[in-house]
Structure 1
């Protein structure tokens, strides 16, 4: 294992608050609500947000050292399909970066970095896009209990 690899597993806990309504929480206590319904991102939209966010962090961190952007938007899109095995998945994932910087030396320096940073993010730094492109197995285990004193 190289010195840059972090063997610590990344984890989130998902809690159900109502039918189709969930909260994901990390060990530090940060959380996001999602699910099905008004004012909620769907799980697929969260995946797209993670994809956009992962690349955005790389671009933002580096360019902000030179200039604060006046506009910073990343659109993530994809088409949900049913594949040849009858399974749902996304295809045609695409990120579209829309950035603006001040028209001064620092802003032009930041603007000149964006294309290279987006490429580096895709090719090297963004764990989300690299995992999606390379694929990885998803395993699971299940524990179910029926409690006699359940008052729900």
Structure 2
């Protein structure tokens, strides 16, 4: 039984070193994602955070606006500045920008109309990744057997 089956709130990945400063993350469904230090094409941890922010919001935006009309185009960009200061290394100025177009007509108009309030709901309530970053949750780093 997977961890997710035992506890419906638990999310987990396993990380394995696959080379010098290269790792693979594997989820419980068998999905694999390479992670690197920035010396290769693999996503860095900060880039993964940005992707998670954009992707989390995109799913909610797509679901809500898609009830009115399918998007003709759907793109997003997440940005932030990696800094080191008295608080240590962290990312500041996080912004996710969505560029979504809908077809002409009544359905497209309804989707366009709901998009601004959908982005507010994503920010204030819906996106688990963004809410976790905004609220702030302590992270424990521990040694142990997996």
Q: State the TM-score, normalizing by the size of structure 1.
A: 0.84
Determine if the alignment matches structure 1 residue 133 to structure 2 residue 137.
no
What SS is found at the alignment partner of 2:59? Answer: helix
> Structure 2 regions of 5+ residues with no counterpart?
1-6
CA-to-partner distance for each residue in 1:30-80, whole Å, 9 max, x for gaps? 221121333211110000000111111110011112222111111110111
CA-to-partner distance for each residue in 1:85-113, whole Å, 9 max, x for gaps? 4x110011111111101111111111111
What SS is found at the alignment partner of 1:102? Answer: coil
1: distance between equivalents of 2:21 and 2:13?
18
1: distance between equivalents of 2:9 and 2:60?
21
RMSD (Å) for aligned C-alpha atoms: 1.6
Q: Number of matched residues?
A: 138
Determine if the alignment matches structure 1 residue 116 to structure 2 residue 94.
no
Q: Determine which structure has more spread, i.e. the larger CA radius of gyration.
A: 1
1: distance between equivalents of 2:127 and 2:118?
11
Equivalent residue number for residue 3 of structure 1 = none
**Shift of the alpha carbon at 1:143?**
3.9
Determine if the alignment matches structure 1 residue 72 to structure 2 residue 79.
no
Structure in which a larger fraction of residues adopt helix? 2
CA-to-partner distance for each residue in 1:106-151, whole Å, 9 max, x for gaps? 111111111111100110111111111111111122148xxxxxxx
- 1:46-65 matched pairs, under 5 angstroms: 46-65=48-67
Runs of 4+ in 1 over 3 A off after TM superposition: none
- 1:73-88 matched pairs, under 5 angstroms: 73-85=75-87, 87-88=88-89
> Structure 1 regions of 5+ residues with no counterpart?
1-5, 145-152
What SS is found at the alignment partner of 1:10? Answer: coil
2: distance between equivalents of 1:141 and 1:133?
24
